[in-house]
Amino acid sequence: MKTKSALIIFWGLMSIVCLSNCNSKIDESRCVLLPVNDDPTISFRIYFKVGSQDDPAGKEGLAYLTAHMLTEAATQTNSYDEIIAKLFPLAAGYEASVSAEMTVISGRVHKDNLSTYYPLFADAILKPAFNEDDLSRLKSNILNYLENVLKYASDEDLGKAVLYNEIFAGTGYGHLTEGSIGSIKAITVKDVQEFYKKMYNRQNVIIGLGGGYDYATLESLQKDLHKLTAGKVNAGVKAVPYEIQGLKITLVQKNANATAMSLGFPINLTRDNPEWYALAVANSWFGEHRNSSSHLYQVIREARGLNYGDYSYIENFPGGGRRQFPPVNVARHQQLFEIWIRPVPNDTRHFVLRATMRELRNFVDNGISEEQFDLTRDFLRKYIFHYAPTTMMRLGYAIDDQFYGIPGSHLENFRAALDTMTVADVNEAIRKYLQYDNLQIVIVSNEAEKLRDELLNNSPSPIRYATPKPKEVLEDDKQLENYPLDIKPENVKIVDVQDLFF
């Protein structure tokens, strides 16, 4: 009797196991699909609801490292060099992208090569080996970035990194995605294994699939990703930044031959709010990324030739020096308004800061004119056609729509909003969301103490050009060189570049 009962229970359990493991799959509500039937390629974007804000204290960079341990390391089936060798003839690969709240594993392959590619792609997500050697290699890459590249090879990226760390200090956004020098050194294989087990669970995944895939591929993905461990959806926490009081200045002291600046403050507006589109129009006029239509660009570069470009943003925009259009899958629930001043000659830094602050003030106080609105709206109507030219990019936007809970498509909504928007809407959005009194300012430059004194004393910053300038520019400069900035001594700090990111 006892044996029989046990057998019945055993077979009962077997059927339950089979139901959950053999017939179960990721629900279609968690699949973002973009079929393009005759596309000869297939695009994958597998989105996990995890990001750097989930890094445990003291282990900052763990989300970043874990994702790259999936895509740039061995699996239980193949060593990393075997994976490279198998992917090579396909001219295909996969990569990880990690931001504050998102991790995406993406790849693209030609249909001809799907049967070779898919098992490698699935293994990367499902069967990572988490070898010590791979971890050591990837940690070395990140440490080189933090210790050398970021501090010394790109002052603009350095300024932006410090800006984010300052604005979001004390929140999950308040450290670099790549972590810090100390935390990266502290991360072990066990940390990666545990983080993977907790965060890469089947409740936490969204499948993005686009291009010329067939139903079988979708079903394989749904079933295979269901093999991830059971777990909880990572609800994520919206970072709540502290309130900036006044103009807060962080001067990064380094032996710099030019001065890079970044300015910003948090804004409580994300693209799921219809007002976002009005503010996007305003921002496009004020500082469209890498466009000469940017007003800041016109003032600082075009009229005065002081640098290479000057732009502003209402969403996180990493890698701005390397891209023309907004990135996808870096969505976050807390955004910021950011100004990027590309390097200026050191002896013009105070002047350029004044010019930037004055232009921001005029922008906030006066808004934009009807004519400026019309031109900017015309520009954006066509310009946003360039945002997502490929299936892979459109898939990225569709996943971001899921992140923000946007019905339909953000880009289509953007175009539709432009048709009904008025200049009054734009100026109302400026008044509601932008200001110029409370900002974090980061300046990467040499002779930081001298600059601090000049800023605190509101010392005149007359500018001398090597080249002649029109009379109206010179007259405007006379106003700018004494434009007052209300900076309190307690709001200025100097950090040496060597002391950053520990």
Q: Which residues, in sequence order, are bridge partners of residue 31? A: 207
Q: In whole angstroms, what is the distance from residue 467 CA to residue 481 CA?
A: 18
24, 31, 39, 481: which one binds another protein (CB under 8 A): 39
> Which positions from 138 through 167 interact with another protein, judged by CB under 8 A?
140-141, 144, 147-149, 151-156
Residue 245, interface with another protein (CB under 8 A)? no
Min. distance of Cβ 103 from another protein in angstroms?
23
Q: In whole angstroms, what is the distance from residue 352 CA to residue 355 CA?
A: 5
Min. distance of Cβ 491 from another protein in angstroms?
28
Q: What character string, x for contact with another protein (CB under 8 A) and - otherwise, covers 80-99?
A: xx--xx--xxxxx-------
Q: Which residues, in sequence order, are bridge partners of residue 57? A: none
Residue 248, interface with another protein (CB under 8 A)? no
Q: In whole angstroms, what is the distance from residue 414 CA to residue 281 CA?
A: 10
> Which positions from 270 through 299 interact with another protein, judged by CB under 8 A?
290-293
- Which is nearer to another protein, 81 or 243 (by Cβ)? 81
13, 15, 188, 465: which one binds another protein (CB under 8 A): 465
- Which is nearer to another protein, 24 or 390 (by Cβ)? 390
- Of the candidate spans 134-142, 362-370, 449-457, 488-496, the one that interacts with another protein by CB under 8 A turns out to be 134-142
| Burial class of residue 471 (count of CB atoms within 10 Å of its CB; 0-12, 13-18, 19+) | exposed
CB 26 within 8 A of CB 219: no
Q: What character string, x for contact with another protein (CB under 8 A) and - otherwise, covers 355-374?
A: --------------------
> Which positions from 378 through 397 interact with another protein, judged by CB under 8 A?
378-386, 389-390
- Of the candidate spans 77-85, 97-105, 199-207, 422-430, the one that interacts with another protein by CB under 8 A turns out to be 77-85
CB 224 within 8 A of CB 202: no
Whose CA is closest to 50, among 194, 157, 187?
194
Helix (H) or strand (E) holding 449: helix 448-456
27, 28, 132, 133: which one binds another protein (CB under 8 A): 133
Q: In whole angstroms, what is the distance from residue 325 CA to residue 386 CA?
A: 8
Residue 108, interface with another protein (CB under 8 A)? yes
293: Cβ contacts below 8 Å, ≥ 6 apart? 284, 285, 375, 376, 379
> Which positions from 390 through 449 interact with another protein, judged by CB under 8 A?
390
- Which is nearer to another protein, 151 or 358 (by Cβ)? 151
Instruction: Give CA torsion, residues 155, 160, 166, 172, to 10 deg.
Output: -130
Residue 212, interface with another protein (CB under 8 A)? yes
Matching residue, tokens 């409370």: 438
Min. distance of Cβ 232 from another protein in angstroms?
35
Distances, alpha carbon 220 to alpha carbons 37, 106, 230, in Å: 18, 16, 18
- Of the candidate spans 11-19, 191-199, 213-221, 463-471, the one that interacts with another protein by CB under 8 A turns out to be 463-471
Q: In whole angstroms, what is the distance from residue 245 CA to residue 343 CA?
A: 26
- Which is nearer to another protein, 194 or 447 (by Cβ)? 447
Min. distance of Cβ 32 from another protein in angstroms?
18
Min. distance of Cβ 431 from another protein in angstroms?
24
Residue 27, interface with another protein (CB under 8 A)? no
CB 168 within 8 A of CB 114: no
Provide the token pair at 262. 């970044």
- Which is nearer to another protein, 54 or 359 (by Cβ)? 359
Provide the token pair at 198. 């907790």
